Amino acid sequence: MKSIAALQAVVTAVPFDGEPSDAELDAIEVEMPLILAEVDLLDAQIMTIDRPATLLDERRVRRARNRVLAERRDLTNRAGLAQSGGAA
């Protein structure tokens, strides 16, 4: 039986170089506010893992969670505008 892996180079048109494409980088740039908001939420949650949460900690987590929700909403709205703008 022949190995398929030996023929992969012949079948594959463009070799994978391990770097993200321009389209992937653009998508990451669009999602960056959401990514940063999620990192802030994670940081706030990590700070409360090993000790009882104070009022300030609870406020920090709540604000970070609200920021994540707001960024998700904004990202969804931008995606909806981009889709509806080209249609019709």
Tens of pLDDT, residue by residue over 12-70, are 566 677 888 999 999 999 999 999 999 999 999 999 999 999 999 999 999 999 999 99
Q: How far is CA 3 from CA 6, 7, 8, 13, in A?
A: 6, 8, 10, 19
CA separation for the pair 38, 66 (Å, rounded): 10
Neighbours of 33 (CB within 10 A): 16
Q: What is the pTM of this model?
A: 0.69
User: What token pair was written down for 3?
Assistant: 């190995």
44-76: string of b/e by CB count within 10 Å (b at 16+)? beeeeeeeeeeeeeeebbeebbebbeebeeeee
pLDDT digits (tens, 9 = 90+) for 68-78: 999 999 999 98
Q: Contact, 61 vs 41, CB < 8 A?
A: yes
